[in-house]
A and B are shown apart, each in its own frame.
Chain A
Amino acid sequence: MTYLLTQLANGLSYGLILGLIAVGFVIVFTSTGVLNFAHGSVLLAGAYLVAVLHDPIGFWAAAVVGIAGAALLAVLINAVLVRNLAEANPGTAAILMLGVDILLLTELTRRIGNRVLTIGSPWGADVFSFGGITLPMSRVIAAGLAIVVFALLWFLFARTGTGIAMRAAAADGDTASLMGIRLSRTGAAGWALAGALAAIAGIFLASFPAPGVAPTLAISAFAAIPAWVLGGFDSVVGAIVGGLIIGVVTALAVGYESELHFLGRGLGEVVPYAVMILVLLVRPSGLFGRKEAVRV
């Protein structure tokens, strides 16, 4: 029983981190219509900044620089590359993003080499125990922080003029611009948010029990893609719920791998996609996706 609870807690906290990444995919998609396959390397760039800066300027300052840096990098990708695309076509933009991802990842790999950089967080390898459940401290903090971030996002989108303008622009950009909303601004805000969320997730994905910042961190961001898709592609709530589902299922598949060995090894890597496909079979537009043609 304790083992199950531990796995569940583990999965939920991992799921919240995936949620941070998946929400970034959603916001970029709704604000500029881009499938952002460079999201993983933006995440890695943020984590890399924290890893190299925590020694000279301290962890907290490094975290701020890393988050701001990732946000800035995302805004630049949007301003320099996406907005200058001759044809506003989701396919073209997606392929462009794959290219950007390869470039960024190559450069970061060159800088990191085959080292594994420590993230230098004050919680280090501490563990947290409560009622027999033991979790890495980094996961507990990640879960708490993610919940705070999601609450702030809710406040932004439901209560502030900027957030409502972003939702209006996502729903119908042409009409939104007739209200004086500048689509270039809402787009930049979307990319900046996504970059910042990715960097936060990156810090925790590089914390204990993970060894630190290595190029493979960019790949781990792709684990959020099934969460994004099964949540419904354009729904922030869907991305969070999707993250939790994928997190829990992955943790259970890994935790009970020895009992599930008839399914083969490395089940944890396959299970997110299997869950995604199952959900899409039942609900083709995802759990929270906008249904096409509500009123005909």
Chain B
Amino acid sequence: MPDPLLTVDDLTVAYDGAVQALRGVSLRVDAGSVVAVLGSNGAGKTTLLRAVSRSLGTVGGAVTGGTIRFGGQDLARRDASWAVRAGLVQVPEGRRIFRDLTVEENLRAGGYTARDARARAEATDRVFDLFPILAERRHQRGGLLSGGQQQMLAMGRGLMTSPKLLLLDEPSLGLAPQLVEQIGDIIEQIHAQGTSVLLIEQNASMGLRVADRAYVLEVGTITASGTAAELASTDDIRDRYLGVGTSSPTRTTHEDEPVDVPVHLRRSSTATAQELRVEDLTVRFGGITALSEVSFTVAAGTIHALIGPNGAGKSTCINVLGGAYRATSGTVHYGDATVSALPSHRIADLGVARTFQNISLSLEATVEDNLLVGRHRVMRTGTAAQALRLPNARKEERTEREAVRRIAVLLGIDAVLDRAVHTLSYGDRKRVEMGRALAAEPTLLLLDEPVAGMTHGESVVMADAIRAVQQELGLSVLLVEHDMPFVMGLAERITVLDFGKRIAEGSPQDVQRDPEVLRAYLGTAAA
């Protein structure tokens, strides 16, 4: 048995000296293997990677016990820079490419510690071999790449020092099914070239496909481990992470069975959902046409999904509806109002609320305060009354806190109401963002990738929550999402975009069988 490349033994990690993120985690990565770590949000997966790559300090965490050894060396007194030089490189969650640097400069930054110019040139060639698209776009700024290309750039940047062990944090996050498969293939290629990989992945079917061994991390402890094949065959893993029958919707549509609602939400006004009509919407940025004459209608009170490959224009569409972008031509009507002519705060007044693809929350504030911000639109007392703490302001504050608590219970974030947002995992932040949108009592909710970074089990819970609020508040939902089981089980109607054009529209069943959609987006995974 060869010496393991990485051993983590009884590791404990705490944030801000209080919140325990890891409690006695042990795992091992043998040289030449791919190891996957599965787990729900807040389980401590990213914390584990940051502990190994010595980058916990920047997020306020610290190792409080246990050891990490890499190639026989204890990492206790080593910093991130040492780790990179020793061949231990982390590719961070959410890609985090340098947007203002060109593709080539991003790679150059990744190869910073490789002092030998020839080694650097060889590494660049290898990366360009692995990702030909990066060679093609080498002089473009990183920020102009699509999501999938940015992920490739982030991985390529990590490979520039020819590491012994590559730590990948959610490489498939927010990518279309076809691209997820491609990223899986690339991980296998990287492995074949002699780099070991420690992989964190919400997309468990991809993770288990490429991994030799896997660990399941739950609330800071390892609850299961074994070969990838062993884990893939256990019922628990299938239910919670794989989602049995991934290719077909397992749930019926919502009319058939009302969802159990833990708490009831009430509207403070009598506003009702209206029909949303998008007509011939075109958006251009500089020379690029992001959306080209796209039309669709979201009937009042229904759940409608926008799907399509990365860069198809889905987020652009949401951004126009929310008022962040201007339409170049075409119109958007919500009921009688022309949304495309209004600034974003006026759109909010119409009862349109949204979440963002790249989460946009006040990180230092608590979850409760973030949700209360969303109540701003429905609050009645003025600033002066609140500042002076007049009786009616105090009364309103109590009712508002109660309203916010109910939303938190519904989304399953009531336990973290007092925590600062920056201590939460990616998936929990997504829920907080949705809670803030709901707090505004919208009649139309725009959700940009609501279950990105969530396990299958968590996305089921989120789908129930969305269906529950739709019934409770009678609102319309327009969502963008790559998680196909989620979309197919939840949406009543689906519009498919590709290269800024509408290529299909219909019920989930129709869309899933559409050959054009299979070709452009779903790929073989859904066939």
Q: Could you list which residues of chain A lie within 8 angstroms of chain B, going by C-beta atoms?
A: 161, 164-165, 167-168, 171-182, 290, 294-296
Contact = CB atoms under 8 A, between A and B. Distances in A.
Contact of B319 (A167, A182, A296): A296
A87 B96 CA distance: 25
A168 B101 contact: yes
Interface string B102-135: 0001101111110000000000000000000000
B15 interface: no
A222 B194 CA distance: 56
Given A165-B112, A180-B161, 13 more contacts: A164-B109, A165-B109, A167-B105, A168-B98, A168-B101, A172-B96, A173-B58, A174-B55, A174-B59, A179-B84, A180-B83, A180-B113, A296-B357
A164 B101 contact: yes
Contacts of A176: 98, 109
Contacts of B161: 180
Contacts of A175: 92, 96, 98
Contact of B58 (A165, A177, A182, A295): A177
B99 interface: yes
Given A181-B81, A295-B143, A296-B360, A161 B100 contact: no
A178 B100 contact: no
Counting chain A CB atoms within 10 Å of each CB, which of B80, B90, B111, B319 scores highest?
Answer: B80
A180 B143 contact: no
A182 B110 CA distance: 13
A280 B111 CA distance: 39
A104 B85 CA distance: 40
Contacts of A290: 100
Interface residues of B, number: 35
B268 interface: no
Contact of B98 (A161, A172, A182, A294): A172
Contact of B112 (A173, A180, A294): A180
Counting chain B CB atoms within 10 Å of each CB, which of A161, A176, A296 scores highest?
Answer: A296
B100 A167 contact: yes
A288 to B, nearest CB: 12
Given A164-B108, A167-B101, A171-B100, A179 B358 contact: no
20 contacts: A164-B109, A165-B112, A167-B105, A171-B100, A173-B58, A174-B58, A175-B98, A176-B98, A176-B109, A178-B53, A178-B92, A179-B84, A179-B112, A180-B80, A181-B81, A182-B81, A295-B358, A296-B319, A296-B356, A296-B357
Contacts of B55: 174, 177-178
A172 B360 CA distance: 17
Given A168-B101, A182-B81, A161 B108 contact: yes
Nearest to A162: B112
Contact of B84 (A174, A180, A294, A295): A180
Contacts of A161: 108, 111-112
A181 B161 CA distance: 12
Contacts of B112: 161, 164-165, 168, 179-181
Contacts of B81: 177, 180-182
Counting chain A CB atoms within 10 Å of each CB, which of B98, B99, B319, B360 scores highest?
Answer: B98
Interface in B71-96: 80-81, 83-85, 89-92, 96
A180 B106 CA distance: 13
Nearest to B117: A161
A178 B59 CA distance: 13
Interface string B286-320: 00000000000000000000000000000000010
Nearest to B90: A178
A167 to B, nearest CB: 6
A38 to B, nearest CB: 26
B324 interface: yes
A181 B109 CA distance: 8
B157 interface: yes
A164 to B, nearest CB: 5
Contacts of B143: 294-295
Contacts of B324: 296
B64 to A, nearest CB: 21
A96 to B, nearest CB: 22
B452 to A, nearest CB: 15
B110 A179 contact: yes
Contacts of A294: 99, 143
A294 B99 CA distance: 10
A165 B109 CA distance: 5
A179 B58 contact: no
Contact of A168 (B58, B90, B92, B109): B109
